[in-house]
Amino acid sequence: MAAVYTDANFDAEVLSADKLSVIDFWAPWCGPCLALGPTIESLATEYEGKVNVGKVNVDENPNLSINYGITSIPAVLFIKNGQVVDKQVGAAPKSVFEKKIQAHL
């Protein structure tokens, strides 16, 4: 299951992590975000132990959205060693996310 990241736990769980993190910035009122949800959950299951996969609710965590310049959702950031190494804005097929994950493992 995808982790839930917040303004409070993001630094410890994502920026300090020693592996790739895939972070889905979403909101419950966003149709494309809801459509992407099952893909994110599937990636979390498939890459468990290898990649941190989680979600950030932009309504509940505005500081993270501002810090990362999130202006359109869904937006998925790929973060490694505390730095954004890739980004996918908008819903996309699972294969797109898998290619980006493989490129940064």
pLDDT of res. 11 = 95
pLDDT of res. 68 = 97
From 33, 53, 64, 79, active-site residue: 33
pLDDT of res. 96 = 98
Q: State pTM to two decimals.
A: 0.96
Task: List for the chain the helix, strand, coil content (%; round to 5).
Answer: 35, 25, 35
From 30, 89, 92, 96, active-site residue: 30
Domain ranges of the chain: 3-104
Domain 3-104: which topology?
Glutaredoxin (3.40.30)
- Per run of 10 residues, the mean pLDDT along the chain (length 105 residues) is 96 95 98 97 97 98 96 98 97 97 96
* Residue carrying structure tokens 């979390």: 44
